[in-house]
Amino acid sequence: MLASEIISKIPVSYDNGLASGSLFFFPSTVNIHNELGVDFEIRLCPALQKKPRLPTPHFNGGADEPVTEPLANVDPFAPPYDPGLLVGELISEEISQQYVVLMNKYSVVPRHFLLITKEYQSQTSPLMPDDLLQAYALLVAGKKAGKKMFAFYNCGDLSGASQPHKHLQFIETEDEGPPIEVLAGSISLESPGKPFSIERLPWANHVFRFPSYVDTQ
């Protein structure tokens, strides 16, 4: 499926997942916290405390250890896929890596979905060009469909990942988009085509603005 076809299937896939019991939605509240002149959006969801607790997975695949695939019965991102969560396989002639798109089983935001490598890769591994290209294709398709979307990658357990199989997450945003995008867009650059950092943020960060003519299917 093309990225545009995936995006068009997200609403019905979400509704079907809820109806079948494969997907759970937990209402949440959003709080805006300002620190150092930066707005941070904090989402609170007490109901997630009832989410089944799983042992912390072994995030292998570091620089000094080989990548080993987890047992199939503990990898929810391995086939056979739950039909109540499966959106489709993302295919591109320009990309050799294959991906599958699943709805997020435990959602605090409606229509929260995942981009997953079909072949097992570790969640501690960096995002590769194919990963970024497919993620960008979905964001562009979402924009063309009138949806403001945000993609993020939790690289390992210290950043909040609970599954060792490589996956990116996508959620729809409201208003002007996520605060980080608004902040990055407010910065004036002498050289728009070069990466930059947001000095107001209290951690290392690297930002690059894609030119407006960059497009994909």
Are 124 and 60 within 8 A, CB to CB?
Answer: yes
pLDDT level of residue 35 (50, 70, 90 thresholds): confident
pLDDT at 138: 94
- Mean of the per-residue pLDDT values of the chain: 83
**In the block, residue with structure tokens 């990548």:** 67
Counting other chains too, the contacts that 17-22 makes at CB distance below 8 Å and 24 or more residues apart are: 17/84, 17/85, 17/103, 20/83, 20/84, 21/84, 22/82, 22/83, 22/84, 22/85, 22/103, 22/105
Could you report the per-residue pLDDT of 77-87, keeping only the tens digit for each?
999 999 999 99
Counting other chains too, the contacts that 42-48 makes at CB distance below 8 Å and 24 or more residues apart are: 43/108, 43/109, 45/108, 48/106, 48/108
Q: Give the span between the Cα atoms of 62 and 173, in whole angstroms.
A: 33
pLDDT at 141: 93
Catalytic residue among 33, 58, 167, 206: 167
Amino acid sitting at position 27: P
pLDDT level of residue 191 (50, 70, 90 thresholds): confident
Say whether 167 is catalytic: yes
Of 66-70, 152-156, 157-161, the one with minimum mean pLDDT is 66-70
Residue 79: cis peptide before it, omega within 30 degrees of 0: no
Computed over its alpha carbons, how large is the radius of gyration of the chain? 18
Are 169 and 112 within 8 A, CB to CB?
Answer: yes
Domains of the chain: 3-50+75-185 (3.30.428.70)
Helices 129-144, 3-20: axis angle to 10 degrees equals 80
pLDDT at 72: 45
Amino acid sitting at position 40: F
**In the block, residue with structure tokens 């000095």:** 199
165-176: average pLDDT: 88
> Residue 156: which residues within 8 A CB-CB, separation 6 or more?
59, 123, 124
pLDDT at 56: 53
Exposed, middle or buried, 139 (CB in 10 Å: 0-12/13-18/19+)?
buried
pTM of the model: 0.83
For residue 140, pLDDT over 80 is answered with yes
Could you report the per-residue pLDDT of 49-84, keeping only the tens digit for each?
766 665 555 555 544 445 555 544 478 899 999 999
